[in-house]
Amino acid sequence: MHNPKHIVITGASSGIGAALALAYAAPDVRLGLSGRNQQRLEQLAAQARAKGANVVTATIDVTSRGAMNAWLQSLDAAQPIDLVIANAGISAGTGSGNETEQQIREIIAINVEGVINTVQPMIEPMVARGRGQLAIMSSLAGFRGFPGAPSYCASKAAVKVYGEALRGDLSYKGVGVTVICPGYVKTSMTEPNKFPMPFLMTAEKCAEIIKRGLARNKARIAFPFLPYFFVWLLSLLPPSLTDHLLAVLPKKAGR
Ligand SMILES: NC(=O)c1ccc[n+]([C@@H]2O[C@H](COP(=O)([O-])OP(=O)(O)OC[C@H]3O[C@@H](n4cnc5c(N)ncnc54)[C@H](OP(=O)(O)O)[C@@H]3O)[C@@H](O)[C@H]2O)c1
């Protein structure tokens, strides 16, 4: 959608979400921003207001289905939402051993159920209007299970496929759906990583690419090209050929 006027972004209190909020902030634009850290959210809101945007913030955990539903409905009632970016997410790996059950459940709850809690309430009103756009934050980690971060990869694969399937249905009803698959981005999520992160980019650059792709209603915004090509190829090759290679890759720390 070109020039969306009412944009909702979850996980806007830092990293990619914050950069997206500032990329969209402009006069005549209304931003609904959520996260859990109120202080960081308010700092960001002040920056967005300084760029002329009308900003509403909410400290809501995306796993709270009822709270997310009520918040989205109230925003939509104030002014129909044009674009929802389901961005909130967490990561963790197996660097310090195996994933704990608690870590797995937390990642799935936030990265998968949190996305559903963000997208689902908006489908009906957008379809009724025959207008709107849903953007789902996946990752290049969603193309193949990496031993260093099993539940993170699983969560990103789940929302990638969910978004692709939704698009096939909703595009005929006037609603765009885009799946976003970035490589390494410099945020608090990647800050603890002690291993080399090829093609690491800033959150600002990442937000620019996403904004451009969303304006074109792309089905998939996957970048940078070489890491994208690498994971795409990995997903095509038989596991018997790739398991050995993936087993020696460095692992992300656990939670
Ligand atoms: N960084 C990368 O390399 C990379 C690559 C591909 C995809 N991604 C994806 O991009 C998204 C943003 O990540 P980021 O790199 O920008 O990390 P980040 O700086 O850690 O930001 C994560 C955001 O998600 C919010 N969040 C986490 N759990 C939440 C919950 N339960 N309820 C509500 N908000 C919650 C955080 O809010 P609070 O801090 O206020 O809790 C924060 O605003 C994630 O989905 C991530 O998986 C990141």
What pLDDT sits at residue 252? 85
- Of the chain, the percentage scoring pLDDT greater than 70 comes to 100
* Long-range CB contacts for residues 157-160, cutoff 8 Å, separation at least 24: 158/108, 158/111, 158/112, 159/86, 159/111, 159/112, 159/115, 160/136
Q: Ligand 1 mean position to 128 CA, how many Å?
A: 30
Q: Ligand 1 mean position to 111 CA, how many Å?
A: 9
Q: How confident is the model at residue 153 (pLDDT cuts 50, 70, 90)?
A: very high
Q: Is there an atom of ligand 1 within 6 Å of 25 CB?
A: no
- Which residues, including other chains, have CB under 8 Å from residue 92's CB and lie 6 or more apart? 99, 103, 107, 149, 151, 152, 252, 253, 254, 255
What pLDDT sits at residue 46? 98
Q: Ligand 1 mean position to 190 CA, how many Å?
A: 10
Q: Max Cα separation, the chain?
A: 54
What pLDDT sits at residue 251? 87
Global pTM reads 0.97
Q: Is there an atom of ligand 1 within 6 Å of 14 CB?
A: yes
SS3 state at 84: strand
Mutate to test the pocket of ligand 1, among 189, 190, 209 (most ligand atoms within 8 A of CB): 189
Annotated catalytic residue within 24, 152, 162, 228? 152
Mean pLDDT, rounded, for 214-227: 98
What pLDDT sits at residue 221? 98
Mutate to test the pocket of ligand 1, among 60, 87, 181 (most ligand atoms within 8 A of CB): 87
Q: Is there an atom of ligand 1 within 6 Å of 224 CB?
A: no
Q: Is there an atom of ligand 1 within 6 Å of 11 CB?
A: yes
pLDDT digits (tens, 9 = 90+) for 35-84: 999 999 999 999 999 999 999 999 999 999 999 999 999 999 999 999 99
What pLDDT sits at residue 31? 98
In angstroms, the CA 30 to CA 41 distance is 15
DSSP structure class, residue 198 = T
Tokens for 221, please give them.
């915004």
Tokens for 230, please give them.
């690498």
What pLDDT sits at residue 250? 83
Q: Is there an atom of ligand 1 within 6 Å of 214 CB?
A: no
**Number of residues that this document lists for the chain:** 255
Does pLDDT of 96 surpass 90?
Answer: no
pLDDT digits (tens, 9 = 90+) for 101-141: 999 999 999 999 999 999 999 999 999 999 999 999 999 99
Q: Is there an atom of ligand 1 within 6 Å of 105 CB?
A: no
In angstroms, the CA 222 to CA 213 distance is 9
24 in catalytic set = no
Q: Is there an atom of ligand 1 within 6 Å of 182 CB?
A: yes
pLDDT digits (tens, 9 = 90+) for 191-212: 999 899 999 999 999 999 999 9
Q: Supply the residue whose CA is at minimum distance from atom 44 of ligand 1.
A: 89
